[in-house]
């Protein structure tokens, strides 16, 4: 069975944001793996994933936004199982300890005396990782403020009556003959993308690979893309349908995609930084700029838009560079732990964990 790829957490304009509560709410069997070595936890998650995939189960991979090659956990929806990183900043053990099936600690395989010897270096690097993240969030916050100025100019050209008609027509197309069956349990909110040290990354095509109908909403800032999705999601919920929401990885108060699994429908924002164009026969574009805006606004505020775009890109670029610095410090930090690990003990520990979870 294939894997689906998501982010559980985000490096956002609002700081570090985790959606861990939605996993806890919906998944009944939660396993937590603690440990200082992200790379070893990721190897473990992938081995557990492989075991379930070989048995025919879909596995959802939760990537780490500060190093997308590492995982923050995996979810096996059909088994009602999640295996989560307990050392991440989501605070899963502290907040939700009463709902955890079992906690495993890979640091039991560390030579603690070796770790203590490098205490000063470890504390310094931990401080750097946190500092660079905080500075990156400040740049992203400035970027969103600039983006909001751009939105204000476009909103001045918005025809909200037309936007409401677009939403009403879309709702009529989707829900005119809906019959509600028993819905499968799912995690109702995850991120499809994130700000990472490599820039903006998204898994939209992977997540929607088995979706029959994709409505790709185009439009400028402030053209109501997020509002359309929120309203359609609410219509669906009112009819008893399960709806999965995907907040924006930069501004989590905004929506970038919804999926209604029972209808096999996705409605998504197809504009930068996650440009999605129609690539399937069933894809349909809804251009809010053409349908709902006075397009002369671009000529009217041409210089302002150019200046705001340059300012926005600068803040995003600076934020990304700070995430790169944080990752560099994190890699150096893990080198200390690699030097202190007993690999034989670690293998024994991971084999025990895999057997406990997969059997």
Listed by start position, the domains of the chain span 3-110+343-358, 158-293
Q: What is the mean pLDDT of residues 295-308?
A: 96
DSSP string across 291-358: HHB-TTHHHHTHHHHHHHHHHHHHHHHHHHHHHHHHHHHHHHHHHHHHTTB-HHHHHHHHHHHHHHHH
How far is residue 68's CA from residue 71's CA, in Å, rounded to a whole number?
7
Q: Is the pLDDT of residue 307 over 90?
A: yes
For residues 7 and 63, is the Cβ–Cβ distance under 8 A? yes
For residues 213 and 237, is the Cβ–Cβ distance under 8 A? no
User: What is the per-residue pLDDT for 305?
Assistant: 95
User: What is the per-residue pLDDT for 178?
Assistant: 81
User: What is the per-residue pLDDT for 246?
Assistant: 98
Q: Is the pLDDT of residue 192 over 90?
A: yes
For residues 315 and 143, is the Cβ–Cβ distance under 8 A? yes
Q: What is the mean pLDDT of residues 323-331?
A: 98
- Confidence grade of residue 142 (pLDDT, cut at 50, 70, 90): very high
User: What is the per-residue pLDDT for 341?
Assistant: 95
For residues 184 and 242, is the Cβ–Cβ distance under 8 A? yes
User: What is the per-residue pLDDT for 180?
Assistant: 75
User: What is the per-residue pLDDT for 51?
Assistant: 97
Q: Per-residue pLDDT tens for 242-266?
A: 999 999 999 999 999 999 999 999 9
User: What is the per-residue pLDDT for 176?
Assistant: 87
User: What is the per-residue pLDDT for 89?
Assistant: 80
The answer to which of 51-55, 84-88, 213-217, 305-309 has the lowest mean pLDDT is 84-88
- Confidence grade of residue 88 (pLDDT, cut at 50, 70, 90): low
Mean pLDDT estimate for the chain: 95
Q: Per-residue pLDDT tens for 228-244?
A: 999 999 999 999 899 99
User: What is the per-residue pLDDT for 258?
Assistant: 98
- Confidence grade of residue 57 (pLDDT, cut at 50, 70, 90): very high
For residues 48 and 83, is the Cβ–Cβ distance under 8 A? yes
How far is residue 271's CA from residue 44's CA, in Å, rounded to a whole number?
36
Q: To 10 degrees, what angle do helices 38-54 and 302-338 make?
A: 90
User: What is the per-residue pLDDT for 185?
Assistant: 60
Dihedral (C-alpha) 86, 92, 93, 99: value to the nearest 10 degrees? -120
- Indicate left, alpha or beta for 58 from its phi (over 0: left) and psi (-120 to 50: alpha): beta
């Amino acid at each position: 069975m294939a894997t689906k790829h998501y982010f559980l957490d985000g490096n956002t304009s609002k700081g570090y944001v985790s959606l861990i509560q939605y996993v806890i709410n919906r998944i009944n069997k939660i396993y937590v793996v603690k440990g200082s070595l992200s790379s070893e936890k990721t190897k473990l998650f992938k081995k557990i994933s492989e075991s379930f995939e070989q048995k025919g189960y879909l596995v959802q991979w939760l990537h780490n936004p500060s190093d997308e090659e590492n995982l923050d956990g995996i979810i096996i929806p059909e088994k009602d199982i999640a295996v989560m990183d307990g050392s991440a900043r989501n605070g899963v053990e502290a907040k939700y300890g009463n709902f955890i099936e079992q906690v495993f600690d890979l640091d039991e395989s560390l030579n603690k005396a070796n770790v203590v010897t490098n205490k000063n270096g470890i504390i310094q690097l931990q401080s750097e990782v946190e500092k660079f993240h905080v500075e990156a969030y400040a740049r992203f916050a400035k970027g969103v403020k600039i983006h909001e100025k751009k939105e204000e100019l476009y909103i001045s050209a918005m025809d909200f009556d037309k936007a409401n008609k677009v939403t009403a027509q879309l709702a009529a197309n989707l829900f005119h003959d809906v019959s509600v069956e028993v819905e499968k349990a799912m995690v109702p909110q995850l991120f499809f993308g994130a700000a990472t040290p490599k820039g903006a990354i998204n898994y939209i095509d992977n997540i929607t690979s088995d979706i029959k109908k994709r409505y790709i909403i185009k439009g400028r800032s402030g053209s109501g893309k997020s509002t359309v999705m929120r309203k359609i999601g609410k219509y669906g919920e009112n009819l008893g349908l399960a709806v999965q929401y995907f907040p924006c990885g930069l501004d989590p108060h905004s929506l970038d995609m919804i999926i209604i699994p029972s209808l096999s429908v996705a409605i998504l924002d197809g504009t930068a930084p996650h440009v999605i164009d129609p690539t399937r026969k069933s894809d349909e574009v809804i251009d809010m700029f053409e349908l709902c805006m006075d397009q002369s606004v671009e000529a009217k505020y041409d210089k302002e838009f150019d200046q705001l775009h340059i300012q926005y890109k600068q803040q995003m670029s600076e934020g990304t560079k700070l995430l790169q610095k944080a990752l560099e410090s994190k890699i150096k930090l893990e080198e200390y732990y690699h030097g202190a690990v007993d690999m034989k003990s670690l293998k024994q520990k991971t084999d025990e964990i895999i057997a406990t979870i997969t059997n």
